[in-house]
Amino acid sequence: MAIYLTQESRVLVQGMTGGEGMRHTRRMLAAGTDVVGGVNPRKAGRTVDFGDRAVPVFGSVAEGIAATGADVSVVFVPPAFVRAAVTEAADAGIGLAVVITEGVPVHDSVAFTAYAAARGTRIIGPNCPGLISPGQSNAGIIPADITKPGRIGLVSKSGTLTYQLMYELRDIGFSTCVGIGGDPVVGTSHIDCLAAFESDPDTELIVLIGEIGGDAEERAAGYIRDHVTKPVVGYIAGFTAPEGRTMGHAGAIVSGSSGTARAKKEALEAVGVRVGGTPTETARLVLAALEGTA
Amino acid sequence: MDLYEHQARQLFDRHGIVVPRAEITDSPKEAREIARRLGGRAVVKAQVKTGGRGKAGGVKFAADPAAAELTARQILGMDIKGHTVGTVMLAEPVAVEAEFYVSYVLDRAGGRFLAIASAEGGMDIEEVAATRPEAVARVPVDPAEGVTASKAAEIAEAAGLPARAVDVLVRLWQVLVREDALLVEVNPLVRTTRGQILALDGKVTLDDNAAFRQARWGSETDGYGDPLEAAAAAKGLTYVRLDGEVGIIGNGAGLVMSTLDVVAGCGARPANFLDIGGGASAQVMADGLTVILSDPAVRSVLVNVFGGITACDAVAEGIVRALDTVRLTRPLVVRLDGNNAARGREILDARRHPLVEQATTMDGAARRAADLATAA
């Protein structure tokens, strides 16, 4: 069944006519995503030809929804315009907005995540690779050809670690892989995804990838203890990160004694999550858990 | 980006929060002159981007200009928690009647900012927070409403701050929002014996992501201390220098952090974190390799790329390009997987450089790079 994104999802792309938007719309279409339109007020009324599919450009998200019944938006606009783009999508009543853009100011993320939540719009991101339900739909920039449909659900702060684990577990396959993003404020949390995977009949096991910074993984551990019955396998990046240095992601920073990889690993292990020391070992733990031999 | 105290003061002043008169210098002789201008007596304060300066001896009172010179000489060059003191600030002394604490911090879990305030400010605020949490008020701020006068009154009431601190709470919120800060803290906020409310010390962290709309940030944002970090930043690379011997390049923050960990697990220490980002061109890869090879501490280099958006053939071409411009004297281990990996491996095989070898897995590549670095 997958979570958040299925083959029924009808996808608009805000910023489709930009360089990144064009490139990734082409890839999404190739992965089977039902991209029903782009949004650009200056290019409304045109269509963009992607080989065998001509995609119309709408002047606003609201027009796109009215014309196509779209329920998902993927946002590729530059950082300065993300807040306005998400606000517009939420006002138009979109169900899910996936914000790929990196470098969004935190004050903007605080504002648009609160605004969207109040209007019932789920945000994934910002600064994320998006999500993919293999064989059904792909909203974002995750490479679609690494793996196939299957029974693992994956939630991750990191794009490339998502790809790495998808690749290592390619023979088992995935229900949905969600890259929630590595910024300090994101719209969808590990816990949101855990809850969705727990109630998804097609997901048998959940992989949770975290990294240094904040306490999202510790809170996820508390949620797993109280609410998750399916096996969870974890991986945490950043054991070698020094205090006070931002390691690439805006949110990946150890401040004082908080946010360390060790604390996150221990919190997860304390509630029965098996945590791998490397991506490869994590994949082995998943295979063992699925075989019931662990 | 964390600001120095004197930079934070500039922002406070810009938004109408009163700060004591002060000047900065890197010269003891000039410190004497500044003390004279301030009326003779001065507080000499080390300017470092870390807390706990007072306890480390980085904040001292000087009773006259000669003492200010001597004190500045003692504090300049001091090491405070790994930070070398390059400048001192001399501030006019203030007769303090009461000390308070106020800050706005990002609450990641709640996706919003929190006001944190206490009627017991000063050097021991961490201890107060740990031993008597009830003495510290934590009030969430609705992002749509912000801190209005009535919200500020609510915060002041919860923390037991005087009514005259309400105006400071509103102005401090304006610093946070208008300057795109992730953290603003005034500790201590004081009431002087003459009843004036002053920000005696402050801390501000700005959001680097907002630089595009903050043309006013100028003197507040100084350069990079480390020359290699400056060189990497000039090329638009995300680079953090560490103190080990294995240079590490990868694509994506998570994968690079993971690579660092796997190398450390093999008994070597990472020399750096370098993320070429998504969709990197051959030039970006070449620039990254050039930066890493200019670090003499590096004894081997590991390139770990899982091509998603990034194409492995572009990465391989970047490596070849770097080999044409930099003389490679240390071994290079490359692991390419994902998008166009087969083509990338062919490009490296065709180059046949004696110091370049390929590995088929992340773990194997890390093991090999660690062995090469520790054997060298």
Within chain B, all domains assigned CATH 3.30.470.20 are found at 96-218
Say if residue B188 is preceded by a cis peptide, omega within 30 of 0. Answer: yes
CA distance B336 to B342: 8
Within chain B, all domains assigned CATH 3.40.50.261 are found at 227-375
What percentage of chain B reaches a pLDDT higher than 90?
78
Q: What is the DSSP letter of A230?
A: S
The first and second tokens of residue B369, run together, are 């790079």
**Contacts A105 to B, Cβ<8 Å:** 180, 207, 209-210, 213
What percentage of chain B reaches a pLDDT higher than 70?
97
Classify domain B227-375 by CATH number.
3.40.50.261
Select the CATH number that applies to the domain covering B96-218 from these four: 3.90.1150.10, 3.40.50.970, 1.10.1240.10, 3.30.470.20: 3.30.470.20
Minimal Cβ distance to B308: which of A159, A245, A277:
A159
The first and second tokens of residue A262, run together, are 């060790």
SS3 A135: coil
Alpha carbon dihedral B135, B136, B142, B148, in 10-degree steps, equals 80
B32: pLDDT confidence band, cut at 50, 70 and 90?
very high
A183: pLDDT confidence band, cut at 50, 70 and 90?
very high
CA distance B337 to B189: 55
Are B358 and B336 in contact by the 8 Å Cβ rule? The answer is yes
The C-alpha R_g of chain B, in whole angstroms, comes to 26
Q: Is the pLDDT of residue B219 over 70?
A: no
**Contacts A267 to B, Cβ<8 Å:** none
**Mean pLDDT (whole number) for B4-13:** 94
SS3 A137: strand
What percentage of chain A reaches a pLDDT higher than 70?
99
A21: pLDDT confidence band, cut at 50, 70 and 90?
very high
Exposure on the CB side of residue A69, measured as CA atoms within 13 A: 4
Query: E strand or H helix at B70, and its extent?
Result: helix B65-75
A129 touches B: beta carbon within 8 Å: yes
Average pLDDT of chain B to the nearest whole number: 92
Question: Which stretches within chain A are classed as H helix?
Answer: 19-30, 61-68, 79-91, 106-118, 159-168, 190-198, 216-227, 261-270, 279-291
Q: Is the pLDDT of residue B150 over 70?
A: yes
**Mean pLDDT (whole number) for B317-340:** 92
Number of Cβ within a 10 Å radius of residue B166: 21
* Residue A68 pLDDT: 98
**Mean pLDDT (whole number) for B117-140:** 86
Give the least confident one: A27-41, B103-117, B205-219, B335-349. Answer: B205-219
The first and second tokens of residue B138, run together, are 């934590």
**Mean pLDDT (whole number) for A261-265:** 97
CA distance B3 to B70: 26
Minimal Cβ distance to B109: which of A160, A215, A239:
A215
Q: Which of A67-71, B279-283, B307-311 has the highest mean pLDDT?
A: A67-71
Residue type, B62: A
Q: What positions of B carry a catalytic annotation?
A: 101, 185
Classify burial at A219, counting beta carbons within 10 Å of its beta carbon; exposed 0-12, middle 13-18, buried 19 or more. middle
Say whether A237 and B257 touch across the interface (CB within 8 A).
yes
Q: Which of A37, A39, A13, A4 is nearest to A136 (CA)?
A: A4
A52: pLDDT confidence band, cut at 50, 70 and 90?
confident
**Contacts B275 to A, Cβ<8 Å:** 248
Q: Is the pLDDT of residue A294 over 50?
A: no
Backbone φ and ψ of B60, nearest 5°? -140, 150
Say whether B209 and A105 touch across the interface (CB within 8 A).
yes
Question: Roughly what angle, to the nearest 10 degrees, separates helices B28-37 and B65-75?
Answer: 140
Please tell me the distance in Å from B327's CA to the nearest CA on chain A. 28
Q: Is the pLDDT of residue B69 over 70?
A: yes
Which residue out of A24, A190, A227, A249 is catalytically annotated? A249
Domain B21-91 has CATH 3.40.50.300: no
Per-residue b or e along A169-206, where b marks 16 or more CB atoms closer than 10 Å to that residue's CB: bbebebbbbbbbbbbbbbbbbbbbbbebbbebebbbbb
Q: Is the pLDDT of residue B221 over 70?
A: no
Taking only the tens place, the pLDDT of each residue in B229-288 is 888 888 888 999 999 999 999 999 999 999 999 999 999 999 999 999 887 888 999 999
B45 belongs to an annotated ligand binding site: yes
The first and second tokens of residue B234, run together, are 């000039």
* Residue B327 pLDDT: 85
CA distance B376 to B374: 6
**Mean pLDDT (whole number) for B121-132:** 80
A109 touches B: beta carbon within 8 Å: yes
Within chain B, all domains assigned CATH 3.30.1490.20 are found at 21-91
CA distance A164 to A146: 9
Which residues of A make up each annotated binding site? Answer: 17-20, 43, 100-102, 163
B125: pLDDT confidence band, cut at 50, 70 and 90?
confident
The pTM (predicted TM-score) of the whole model is: 0.94
* Residue B137 pLDDT: 95
Alpha carbon dihedral A222, A223, A226, A229, in 10-degree steps, equals -120
A265 touches B: beta carbon within 8 Å: no
Residues in a beta bridge with B136: B118
A32 touches B: beta carbon within 8 Å: no
Are B6 and B89 in contact by the 8 Å Cβ rule? The answer is yes
Are A169 and A222 in contact by the 8 Å Cβ rule? The answer is no
Taking only the tens place, the pLDDT of each residue in B76-102 is 999 998 889 999 999 999 999 999 999
Please tell me the total number of residues recorded for chain A in this structure. Answer: 294
* Residue B43 pLDDT: 97
Q: Is the pLDDT of residue B326 over 70?
A: yes
Q: Which of B334, B332, B335, B263 is nearest to B300 (CA)?
A: B332
CA distance B365 to B35: 59
Average pLDDT of chain A to the nearest whole number: 96
Q: Is the pLDDT of residue A255 over 80?
A: yes
Residues in a beta bridge with B45: B59, B89
Q: Is the pLDDT of residue A281 over 90?
A: yes
Taking only the tens place, the pLDDT of each residue in B201-213 is 999 999 999 999 9
Minimal Cβ distance to B258: which of A214, A250, A279:
A279
Backbone φ and ψ of A108, nearest 5°? -70, -45
